[in-house]
A and B are shown apart, each in its own frame.
Chain A
Amino acid sequence: MSDQSGTFKELPVIGSGPDVRNAGGQDPIIGIDLGTTNSLVAIVENGVPRIIPSREGKNLVPSVVHFNADGSHEIGDAAKGLRARDPKHTVYSAKRLLGRGAADIAPIRHLLALDLEESSTSNVKIRVEGRAYTPIEISAMILRELKASAERDLGRPVEDAVVTVPAYFNDSQRQATRAAGRLAGLNVLRILNEPTAASLAYGLQKKKNGLVAVFDLGGGTFDISILKLHEGIFEVLATNGDTQLGGDDIDHAVAAWIESELRKEDRTASFNGLENRAALNEAAEELKIRLSAESTATLKAFGVTITLTREKLAELTMPVLERTRAPIETAIRDAGLGTSDLSDVVLVGGPTRLSFVRKFVEELFGRAPNFSMNPEEVVALGAAIQADILAGNNKDFLLLDVVPLSLGIETFGGAMSRLIPRNTRIPTMAKERFTTFVEGQTKVAINVFQGERELVAENRRLAEFVLGGIPPLPAGVARIEVTFLVDADGILNVAAKETYSGVEQSIEVKPMYGLTDEEVERMLAAGHAHAESDARARKLIEAKNEARTVLAATEKALPEMRGLLDPKEAAEIENLAREVRQSLDRDDLDRVLGARLALDRGTVHMAELLMSRTLESGLKNKRAADVLKKS
Chain B
Amino acid sequence: MSSSAFEVFNLKASFKLDERALENAYYEKSRELHPDRVARGDKSALLKSQEKSAELNRAYQTLRDPEQRLEALLRMSGRLKDEKSEEGREAIPMDLAEEFFGLQEAATEDPAIASKKVRAFIDTVARSAGADTAAIRELAARIDWESASTPENEALIGELLSRRKRRAYLLSLADNARKLGVA
> What is the interface of chain A, defined by CB distance below 8 A to chain B?
1-4, 8, 17-18, 20-25, 160, 189-190, 230-231, 233, 235, 389-392, 395, 398-400, 424-429, 485, 487-488
Contacts and interface: CB of A to CB of B under 8 A. Distances in A.
Most chain A Cβ neighbours within 10 Å, of B40, B57, B61: B40
Given A427-B50, A427-B53, 9 more contacts: A23-B41, A189-B40, A390-B36, A392-B37, A398-B30, A427-B35, A429-B51, A429-B54, A485-B50
A428 B39 contact: no
B55 interface: yes
Contact of B27 (A230, A391, A429): A230
5 contacts: A1-B3, A18-B40, A23-B41, A233-B27, A425-B61
Nearest to A8: B47
B31 A398 contact: yes
B36 A399 contact: yes
A425 B57 contact: yes
B42 interface: yes
Given A17-B43, A398-B31, A1 B54 contact: yes
A18 B42 CA distance: 8
B46 to A, nearest CB: 6
Contacts of A8: 47
A25 B39 CA distance: 11
A433 to B, nearest CB: 14
B2 interface: yes
B36 A426 contact: no
B82 to A, nearest CB: 22
A233 B58 contact: no
In the A-B complex, the 7 residue pairs with the smallest Cβ-Cβ separation, listed nearest first, are: A390-B39, A429-B54, A425-B57, A1-B2, A427-B54, A488-B35, A427-B50
Contacts of B30: 233, 398, 400
A417 B57 CA distance: 21
B121 interface: no
Nearest to A387: B39
B1 interface: yes
Interface string B54-82: 11011011000000000000000000000
Contact of A425 (B1, B36, B51, B60): B60
Nearest to A231: B27
Contacts of A428: 54, 57-58
Given A233-B27, A398-B31, A425-B60, A17 B53 contact: no
A398 B36 contact: yes
A398 B39 contact: no
A139 to B, nearest CB: 22
Contacts of B40: 18, 21-25, 160, 189, 390-392
Contacts of A233: 27, 30-31
Nearest to B47: A8
Given A18-B46, A20-B43, A4 B31 contact: no
**Could you tell me the dominant secondary structure of chain A's interface residues?**
loop
Contacts of B42: 20
Nearest to A389: B36
B34 interface: yes
Contacts of A426: 57
Most chain B Cβ neighbours within 10 Å, of A4, A231, A400, A424: A400
Interface of B: 1-3, 27, 30-31, 34-43, 46-47, 50-51, 53-55, 57-58, 60-61
**Could you tell me the dominant secondary structure of chain B's interface residues?**
helix
Contacts of B58: 428-429
A429 B51 CA distance: 8
B57 A424 contact: yes
A487 B50 contact: yes
Nearest to A424: B61
B156 to A, nearest CB: 29
Contacts of A189: 39-40
Nearest to A228: B23
A24 B60 CA distance: 29
Nearest to B8: A1
Most chain B Cβ neighbours within 10 Å, of A18, A21, A230, A389: A18
A487 B51 CA distance: 9
Given A427-B53, A428-B57, A429-B58, A488 B34 contact: yes
Nearest to A190: B39
A325 to B, nearest CB: 23
Contacts of B60: 425
A485 B54 contact: yes
Contacts of A24: 40
A485 B46 CA distance: 13
Nearest to A162: B39
A76 B114 CA distance: 64
Contact of A2 (B2, B36, B53): B2
A23 B38 CA distance: 8
A426 B51 CA distance: 11
B122 to A, nearest CB: 20
Contacts of A395: 31
A428 B54 CA distance: 4
A487 B49 CA distance: 10
Contacts of B50: 427, 485, 487-488
B35 to A, nearest CB: 5
Contacts of A235: 27
A469 B119 CA distance: 55
A486 to B, nearest CB: 8
A1 B27 contact: no
Nearest to A390: B39
Most chain B Cβ neighbours within 10 Å, of A22, A230, A391, A487: A487
A21 B42 CA distance: 7
Contacts of A25: 40
A233 B57 CA distance: 14
Contact of A18 (B31, B34, B39, B55): B39
A485 B52 CA distance: 12
A631 to B, nearest CB: 65
A505 B25 CA distance: 37
A177 to B, nearest CB: 17
B40 to A, nearest CB: 5
A485 B35 CA distance: 13
A429 B55 contact: yes
B59 to A, nearest CB: 10
A391 B40 CA distance: 7
A373 B2 CA distance: 45
Nearest to B65: A336
A396 to B, nearest CB: 9
B35 A487 contact: yes
B57 A4 contact: no
Nearest to B46: A17
Contacts of A160: 40
B162 to A, nearest CB: 29
